[in-house]
């Protein structure tokens, strides 16, 4: 019979794999941003929220805070590196307004994590106290991370388009929430379970929206491409007529 520790380790490794793909999921979006040279209507909020979430979970996974959390520590540390990369790219291709939002967001997050780390290591004197303190913070910010796409979901409902709500990101969030929920249930950890369940709920809502507005999004994109093609053709005709006039002038 498989022991509880072995089962938890197996599910934890699976959670790391799924979470790694979750970290990779924004790559197509950033490739598109790089090619277009603009972030268009994408928001920096999900990436700033995810960065803060990774930082507080890295704090939670430290041996002096919550021992035997190596699997949490490794994936969250990796997450910090990925999110910083995404935010830098977002900053480069943003307008002045978004750049100010990003800089202020990073400043607030750095101050917060520095203060939280100092307080937990100086005022709390046992693993139980430190786990409780940081665990509550983790729940709050994990819920914020999963709730951050609400801005995009509102835009989807308004525009009836999921163009700016990547499917793969929503799907991997859903799988990640399920996996980490199972991990937390095997050896009960409410600090991991609560935000993971919330993540499942929010991700499912995004997937339902995607299924609802997928066809209307394809129709809108096709109409936009058609109008762009017509404009390009009209421009070619106009330029051709102007060239004839110039060529035939004495």
Q: Mean pLDDT throughout 8-30?
A: 84
How much is the pLDDT for 109?
92
The answer on pLDDT for 227 being more than 60 is: no
**Cα 132 from Cα 136, distance rounded (Å):** 6
Q: pLDDT (tens digit, 9 = 90+) per residue, 149-197?
A: 677 777 777 777 776 677 777 888 888 888 888 888 887 888 888 888 8
How much is the pLDDT for 107?
96
Contact between residue 138 and residue 79 where contact means Cβ atoms under 8 Å apart: no
If pLDDT is split at 50, 70 and 90, which confidence band does 242 have?
Answer: very low
Q: How far is CA 98 from the centre of its chain?
A: 17
Structure-block tokens of residue 122: 């100086």
Q: pLDDT (tens digit, 9 = 90+) per residue, 67-89?
A: 888 888 888 999 999 999 999 99
Q: pLDDT (tens digit, 9 = 90+) per residue, 28-52?
A: 888 888 988 888 878 888 788 889 8
Name the residue among 201, 141, 203, 192 with its Cα closest to residue 168.
Answer: 203
Structure-block tokens of residue 128: 């139980």
Q: pLDDT (tens digit, 9 = 90+) per residue, 93-143?
A: 988 888 999 999 999 999 999 999 998 888 888 888 888 888 888 888 777
Q: pLDDT (tens digit, 9 = 90+) per residue, 112-123?
A: 999 999 988 888
């Amino acid at each position: 019979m498989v022991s509880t520790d072995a089962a938890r380790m197996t599910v934890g490794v699976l959670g790391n794999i799924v979470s790694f793909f979750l970290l990779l999921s924004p790559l197509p979006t950033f490739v598109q941003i790089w090619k277009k040279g603009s972030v268009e209507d994408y928001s920096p909020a999900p990436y700033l929220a995810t960065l803060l979430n990774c930082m507080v979970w890295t704090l939670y996974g430290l041996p002096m805070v919550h021992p035997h959390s190596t699997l949490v520590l490794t994936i969250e540390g990796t997450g910090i590196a990925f999110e910083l990369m995404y935010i830098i790219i977002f900053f480069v291709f943003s307008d002045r307004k978004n750049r100010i939002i990003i800089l202020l967001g990073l400043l607030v997050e750095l101050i917060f994590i520095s203060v939280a780390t100092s307080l937990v290591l100086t005022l709390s004197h046992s693993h139980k106290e430190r786990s409780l303190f940081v665990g509550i913070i983790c729940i709050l910010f994990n819920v914020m991370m999963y709730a951050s796409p609400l801005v995009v979901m509102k835009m989807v409902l308004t525009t009836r388009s999921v163009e700016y709500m990547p499917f793969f990101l929503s799907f991997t969030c859903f799988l990640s929430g399920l996996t980490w929920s199972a991990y937390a249930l095997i050896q009960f950890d409410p600090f991991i379970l609560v935000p993971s369940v919330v993540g499942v709920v929010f991700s499912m809502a995004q997937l339902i929206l995607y299924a609802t507005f997928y066809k209307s999004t394809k129709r809108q994109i096709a109409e936009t491409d058609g109008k762009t093609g017509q404009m390009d053709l009209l421009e070619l005709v106009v330029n051709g007529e102007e060239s004839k006039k110039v060529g035939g002038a004495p």
